Amino acid sequence: MDLREQRGLVIAATAKIKRYGDRLQVPSQSGHGFYMVDLSDSRCSCPDWETHRANCKHIFAALYYVRREVWGDDGSKTVTETLAVATGTRPTYPQAWSAYNAAQTCEQDKFQSLLRDLCSGLVDAPAKMGRPRLPLSDAVFNVVFKVYSTVSQRRFMSDLREAHRRGYISKVPHFNSISNYLEKPELTRVLQEFITKSSLPLQAVETDFAVDSSGFMTCRYARWFDHKYGKDQTQREWVKCHIACGVKTNIVTAVEIADKHASDAKMLPPLVEATAQNFRISEVSADKAYGGRPATDAIHKFGGTPFISFRGNATGKVGGTYEQMFHYFMFRKQEFLQHYHKRSNVESTFSMMKRKFGDSLRSKTDTAMINETLCKILCHNLVVLIHEMCELGIDPMFWQNDAISA
């Protein structure tokens, strides 16, 4: 007995179900409202059935009710156990195991190759007097590959020596140099450009996008004296990262890192604008923290439909796209929610990123922490790209005639 059937049994045992022929009125388990179940074709008016097209807890409750009490023509009530339970087919999404296995078994080799292709588009500034600097392409390769490895700088040197043997970098640097590269402010612009470049091979695949934010913990602590309780308090600091990602492949198309207390709503327009420069936008979904007329207007400006949750006190009386979507939400709520729930894919994106590359940062300065966060996102994009190379057969080409100068 699965979870839905168990809950259906609870509803049938505790709730008052009314029958109108083949249709039954089944109360919501939360106690607010009810749903209509049609046993003739195993349909229910609840969101769960609309999403999965399979037996929900209300259908199971109706079946238990009918199996327990069947009414005769004379109005008498008889008990029977002969009614068969209707079956429904729940949609499944099979894993392409051959593509998955190919991507996993050669991921690190392909990761280094793709990263080197990205770094090949970097152009160093003219050399000045003094010691020769490490090429910018080598510096970026080193820090991104280091974040991908998730090991300490000293243990990472074996991987760097192998990368040098394969010709991906010109020389093996000292292990302390990797931390020094992350401190460079100019690296931030390069990494943001690389994140955009790594998403471009999937332009033909992604049209629906989701926006959300998440925090990466740091090794720094904020300390203050709490006068109310008369003692020192500490709290770990963190970097708040806002992203826009495609809902099909989880590729990140744009990223914004701002103050952790900055308004989420102000982050959505630049994310949408950056995504629209390279992708055709059909839908954008986000939670209520990103709501407001500026956000919905920004999405509509680029031809997209905003599916953003509304706050409890929202009235919609502000005009524009915001008011239109509010009326859509009020009068066609189930249809709205089917689009809105694509937002869960951006949570999956952060989960993928943190499980594979960690949810904390090793860096100690603000610039280095931002760069390390961008490195995690770039690593995620390259891993997604490797999987799509095996599944869709695409051949990424990052650079045509453009390049980034140091």
Average pLDDT over residues 193-210: 94
CA–CA gap between residue 374 and residue 147 (Å, rounded): 10
Same domain, 32 and 121: no
More confident call, 8 vs 84: 8
The answer to which of 210-214, 242-246, 288-292, 380-384 has the lowest mean pLDDT is 288-292
CB of 68 closer than 8 Å to CB of 12: yes
Q: Which residue has the tokens 């939400």?
A: 329
- Residue 308 has φ and ψ, to the nearest 5°, of -115, 130
Same domain, 221 and 298: yes
Same domain, 161 and 263: yes
Q: Is the pLDDT of residue 381 over 80?
A: yes
Same domain, 66 and 114: no
The predicted-structure confidence for 133-181, as pLDDT tens digits, reads as follows 788 899 999 999 999 999 999 999 999 999 999 999 999 999 888 889 9
Same domain, 274 and 168: yes
Same domain, 262 and 364: yes
pLDDT in the model for residue 84 = 39
Same domain, 48 and 156: no
Same domain, 50 and 177: no
CA–CA gap between residue 395 and residue 312 (Å, rounded): 47
CA–CA gap between residue 59 and residue 126 (Å, rounded): 72
CB of 114 closer than 8 Å to CB of 106: no
Q: Is the pLDDT of residue 384 over 90?
A: yes
CA atoms within 13 A on the CB side of 25: 7
CA end-to-end span of the chain: 62
Collect contacts of 12-16 with beta carbons under 8 A, ≥24 apart: 12/60, 12/61, 12/62, 12/64, 12/65, 12/68, 13/64, 15/61
CB of 184 closer than 8 Å to CB of 140: no
Q: Report the C-alpha dihedral over residues 320, 263, 280, 247, rounded to 10 degrees.
A: -120
pLDDT in the model for residue 74 = 44
For residue 62, is it within any domain?
yes
The predicted-structure confidence for 270-282, as pLDDT tens digits, reads as follows 999 999 999 999 9
The predicted-structure confidence for 26-59, as pLDDT tens digits, reads as follows 998 877 788 999 888 888 988 888 888 888 889 8
Domain that holds residue 25: 3-78
For residue 90, is it within any domain?
no
More confident call, 371 vs 318: 371
Same domain, 159 and 68: no
CB of 86 closer than 8 Å to CB of 369: no
Amino acid at 217: M
Paired sense of beta strands 252-258 and 77-78, if any: unpaired
Band (5; pLDDT cuts 50, 70, 90): confident
Number of domains in the chain: 2
CB of 100 closer than 8 Å to CB of 82: no
Residue 332 Cα to chain centre, angstroms: 25
CA dist list (Å): 119 to 99, 145, 242: 26, 12, 24
Looking at 78, 113, 143, which one is the last position of a domain?
A: 78
CA–CA gap between residue 244 and residue 247 (Å, rounded): 9
Band (72; pLDDT cuts 50, 70, 90): very low
pLDDT in the model for residue 332 = 84
What SS3 class is residue 20? strand
Structure tokens at 179: 């931390």
Q: Report the C-alpha dihedral over residues 44, 50, 327, 280, rounded to 10 degrees.
A: -170
Structure tokens at 291: 């709501």
Name the pTM for this structure: 0.74
pLDDT in the model for residue 112 = 94
The predicted-structure confidence for 299-349, as pLDDT tens digits, reads as follows 999 999 999 998 878 877 778 888 889 888 888 888 999 999 999 999 999
CA–CA gap between residue 400 and residue 232 (Å, rounded): 56
Average pLDDT over residues 397-406: 63
The predicted-structure confidence for 206-234, as pLDDT tens digits, reads as follows 999 999 999 998 887 777 777 777 888 87
For residue 212, is it within any domain?
yes
Same domain, 269 and 165: yes
For residue 93, is it within any domain?
no
Same domain, 311 and 397: yes
For residue 262, is it within any domain?
yes
Same domain, 42 and 130: no
Q: Is the pLDDT of residue 89 over 70?
A: no
The radius of gyration computed from the CA coordinates of the chain, to the nearest angstrom, equals 27
More confident call, 159 vs 70: 159
Q: Is the pLDDT of residue 70 over 90?
A: no
Measuring CA to CA, which residue among 103, 124, 181 is closest to residue 375? 181
